[in-house]
Amino acid sequence: MKHLLSINGLDGPLARILGCDCGRCTSPTRQAHTSASLISQNDQGETVHHILFDAGLGVSESLLANPHLQGSGARLDWLCLTHWHPDHTAGMNQLIVSRNVNGKRNKLNLPPLPLWCRSGTAEWVQKHHDFEIGLCDLHPIGDNEPPGTLLPSLPILLPDVTITPVTVAHLNADHGVDGRQPRYCCAAFVIETAVTKTILLWDLDSSNEWLVQPETEAQETAVTHLSHADYLFVDTAFWQAKPHKTTSHPSFSNVQRYAASLRPRHTFLMHLSGHPDGRGNPGWGWENGRWQTEARQVWQTKNLPGQVHVPAIGDSFCL
Ligand SMILES: [Zn+2]
Ligand SMILES: [Zn+2]
């Protein structure tokens, strides 16, 4: 069996802003990625399983364009959510309804779509996506485990693949629907096959210092599990760090420290925005190509481990 990770997305962090004249908003090829698909194929090259991680706007279009999800390979077996924010869930309606219609039209007798997320996120999606949840089989896990906790592996029956969620802090998502704080809702994922380890590490805020300096035994275990990956896909919403302030997402300076600590072979920058640094500052309005050029210069100058890349939507990696 062969496992591929494809990068999905289109819009989201941040959406193209009405009236904005920055290079990113005015470019017709502007791309943002906040989602990935784990596609498994048999020895005949047929897609036999598909796990989707996050479903923001544009994800359905990425799946429709994916050459491995055409015809009888057009399937969705699991949806896993890092958290409930709209840039990771706003495409659920299009996606889940279209799976349902395809199933009915082709008499596939599909089960409700299994959906994994943390319990806090489950409450948010039940509030914001009650219609879609009616077509899903929800598997919420845990309650309020602190950042840096390994959760039980996902109950996905796929030979040679283990997917382990790891809790992260993401401050503007870490509250319950009832206003309870903190209500930790977010998870990263470690995907292990027989030959590779891949980390999906988004969204997280800049307070996740346990990635660099674990303080508890649980955090040390989590860091060991996240270390020496072949592929680290990591949230890099800002280029510049905001001094003395916890930001909702990491800056590129945080990411350098995470990479130095976790030592992946390849670091892929995700969730690039290009606005929060502000007009006139580095990062403002950069397209993905510029992000990659600037990041590679820093990687070389500071001799950081492995290589750094900005993936394109539709890129696939053999795991
Ligand atoms: Zn978020
Ligand atoms: Zn996000």
Q: Are 263 and 306 in contact (CB under 8 A)?
A: yes
Parallel/antiparallel/unpaired status of strands 113-118 and 78-80: parallel
Give the environment of ion ligand 1: residues with CB less than 5 A. Answer: 85, 203
pLDDT in tens, 65-79: 999 999 989 999 999
Per-residue pLDDT reduced to its tens digit, 221-244: 999 999 999 999 999 998 987 887
- Percent of the chain with pLDDT strictly greater than 90: 81
Instruction: Report the length, in residues, of the chain.
Output: 319
User: In this predicted model, what pLDDT tens digit does every residue of 127-136 receive, in sequence order?
Assistant: 999 999 999 9
Domain boundaries, the chain: 31-318
CA distance 200 to 254: 16
**Is this model's pTM higher than 0.85 or not?**
yes
What is the number of alpha carbons within 13 Å of residue 61 lying toward its C-beta? 10
CA of 216 to the centre of ligand 2 (A): 27
CA of residue 296 to ligand 2 center, whole Å: 23
Q: pLDDT digit string (tens) for 207-217?
A: 999 999 999 99
- Give the distance (Å) from ligand 1 centre to CA of residue 57: 14
**pLDDT the model gives residue 12:** 58
Q: Does domain 31-318 have CATH number 2.130.10.10?
A: no
Give the number of whichever ligand sits closest to the CA of residue 247: 1
Residues 262-280, mean pLDDT to the nearest whole number: 88
Q: What is the mean pLDDT of residues 189-199?
A: 97
